[in-house]
Structure 1
């Protein structure tokens, strides 16, 4: 038969050959009779399909029907199975990778999964886990207790119940000291000083306006020794490491006093990227900046600076990326700034500005970060806010709105040295 011109315009979506008649497939294609005859039919929708996969209870079904029923392929064979028949450790993308009963039996020699504290494991995955001698559940980490006469291996919940805690470098459970026997002799840990360690300051740059940074850093399991070595090597005489109660595993990086310009030019900024590459974060912890009291002209300058910070709490917190009870703003403190500056009262140290140190004022508002730009912006704000409030007059405050954040940001635009701060403010403006 000779095909008309209109008929010749019809082509099979599968083989691209002109055809006078096309049939719809399960995938939504239109195929010629030859292609359709070679396709199996889906037991779910009765349409021809290029890929009908076997399932345990629904016959051979197309992908569309499998998705609508909630079936997913076994990780070892094409069989489709329902949600629930799964080892929830097997690989990552959602939905989780499933194992059919037959393949599970072949892989493990058994059909039962093994229980942990929070998941079920097939026999293959459980080989990488450890059995708790106390509750007989499996645990992901090797938590054999050390630093004691007991050689029992615990899961973490049982270890905690028995008075054990984690080595600061690895996942080992110990019942005294800070490190397990594997790590206790590592000299790097001597570089993490106690929280009250306070050496004689070494000043860097030209004063009297000096900044001291306290950067809290979370370190992932097993990386503490490497991160300590890297931080101490990069800091040299510029700083040291301390313990801090708010850090579960890690340290507080503390610098000696630096001028703002010196910090931008000479702090080892690559260290932050190196720590981040090892999995360190600043999540949930803080960055504090100490400002030398000698940087202020007098108590009235301190008053103007503190008043500026408290009056612009929402903008400061937005810049700082943090709202925390450890760096609190409240109306009472703003009202009592004058009494604080006169030395008539000593506020709690957990406020936005800690006035308790003898030689510094501590600006506690910032979230920790391992991004150099965010840390530089914090230092820039500390320095710029002191400079900005130094020579403000009553006329500036009463008639020209100098207390206002907009006035401060306009002032910044005329000071290129504070470009890390202006860049951060521009970035935050774009993000809102």
Structure 2
């Protein structure tokens, strides 16, 4: 039987005619002889004439070779994914090689000597990319620190040689507090006051129930002067910045006394977002709220308020997002509440409620945060808890369970001014 001319095609590779074409694609057909010279990629299945042999005796196309990041064995053309030697040569060189501690590749000693990183890790030349040589110990490290004298040191050497970080930038110095050549002594930090700084308070809003916010903030290394300037400019006299030993690198933002309603309406809340966008955080730090003693009607009111806070410690800590020894709920302090209300007992300042300040009670329970709702909820709880306990009567407490957390949250639902606290409690309930 004669094959119709219309069914005979030319091979797209050699050009010969073929009655039995093999289609590599809808528009490319090849003859039987050319098909036998091709290979199927073991990676993607594509038929191609450009293939390389892999360590598993397979063949892959150029595309798969690039996509799978194959590389040639250091002693032959076999492609491998990991290490430096193919299966056969790795067996031959096993007694005269080292294993890279980062990629686990077997590296022949006669081709590469091991390069040591900090911690005595042996690294191959490929894995050493991004490492630099410490100027003191001669080990490689991927996070060297620059010193004022121009040396680059690993963290271990910097610690052993008693280097410290400049208070303004990240440069390491061996004495003093500041770099001599890069930072202008204390001029860059003149708005950061010492821990004991306490200016004359400026009251904002209608009292006598005033709140003072203390927010401990971490700042990215090397950016302290800029964050200080930005924060002071935004506060515009409403507060000031202080040093605090509990903050590794940053500052404590302290406000002047504010009425709760005034604070919600007039505090520059966008400052928290501004600091957050700049890489700052409150992680690991505290948020303290000072409450004016004048906000209480007398010792009995103080007693009811402190009793309410201590009796509901688990719920308060859930709201505060932390349980900390810096804001401890100790039985000894709870048992001394009556004397503390009368000014006959001053416990340690690290209690949940610090009674040491002469003009305020310091509620220390909250975790620091740059989330606006978290901070507003802390102020709301301080104000609401004082307002709630002010008018509690003995029947309210003994017959209506007035000291129970549920009674307080029920009371909050009828006070829309405490919406930040209500929303925070709802979010916490949904998260549980």
Residues of 2 paired with 1:429 and 1:379: CA distance?
19
Q: How does 1:82-231 map to 2 (within 5 A)?
A: 82=82, 112-113=114-115, 115-116=117-118, 130-140=132-142, 143-146=145-148, 152-181=151-180, 182-185=182-185, 187-231=187-231
SS of 1:237's equivalent in the other structure is coil
Offset from partner CA, 1:164-222 (integer Å, 9 cap, x none): 21123332112333332312347341111111111111111111111111100111122
SS of 1:232's equivalent in the other structure is helix
* Residue of structure 2 equivalent to 1:58: 56
SS of 1:362's equivalent in the other structure is strand
Call closer, same or farther: CA 1:428–1:61 in 2, change over 3 Å. Answer: farther
More strand, by proportion: 2
* Residue of structure 2 equivalent to 1:359: 359
Call closer, same or farther: CA 1:50–1:318 in 2, change over 3 Å. Answer: farther
Call closer, same or farther: CA 1:119–1:36 in 2, change over 3 Å. Answer: farther
SS of 2:257's equivalent in the other structure is coil
Moved more, 387-396 or 331-340: 331-340
RMSD: 3.8
* Residue of structure 2 equivalent to 1:327: 327
Normalising by the residue count of structure 2, what TM-score does the alignment of the two structures yield? Answer: 0.76
The answer on whether the counterparts of 1:326 and 1:351 sit within 8 Å (CA) in structure 2 is yes
Question: Quick check: 1:377 aligned with 2:377?
Answer: yes
Q: Size of the alignment, in residue pairs? A: 374
SS of 1:306's equivalent in the other structure is helix
Question: Quick check: 1:261 aligned with 2:257?
Answer: no
Which structure 1 residue ranges, 5 or more long, are not aligned? 1-13, 17-34, 86-96, 103-108
Residues of 1 paired with 2:84 and 2:394: CA distance?
71
Call closer, same or farther: CA 1:396–1:275 in 2, change over 3 Å. Answer: same
Offset from partner CA, 1:1-35 (integer Å, 9 cap, x none): xxxxxxxxxxxxx989xxxxxxxxxxxxxxxxxx9
SS of 2:190's equivalent in the other structure is helix
Q: Mark the structure with the bigger radius of gyration.
A: 2
Q: What's the CA shift for 1:157? A: 2.0
Residues of 2 paired with 1:183 and 1:140: CA distance?
26
Residues of 1 paired with 2:255 and 2:164: CA distance?
30
Residues of 2 paired with 1:118 and 1:422: CA distance?
55
Offset from partner CA, 1:68-99 (integer Å, 9 cap, x none): xxx963599995423799xxxxxxxxxxx979
Call closer, same or farther: CA 1:75–1:249 in 2, change over 3 Å. Answer: farther
Residues of 1 paired with 2:389 and 2:37: CA distance?
84
The answer on whether the counterparts of 1:307 and 1:334 sit within 8 Å (CA) in structure 2 is yes
Call closer, same or farther: CA 1:214–1:59 in 2, change over 3 Å. Answer: farther
Moved more, 289-298 or 72-81: 72-81
Question: Quick check: 1:428 aligned with 2:420?
Answer: no
Call closer, same or farther: CA 1:354–1:37 in 2, change over 3 Å. Answer: farther
Residues of 2 paired with 1:340 and 1:119: CA distance?
58
Residues of 2 paired with 1:353 and 1:76: CA distance?
68
Call closer, same or farther: CA 1:113–1:338 in 2, change over 3 Å. Answer: same
SS of 1:135's equivalent in the other structure is coil
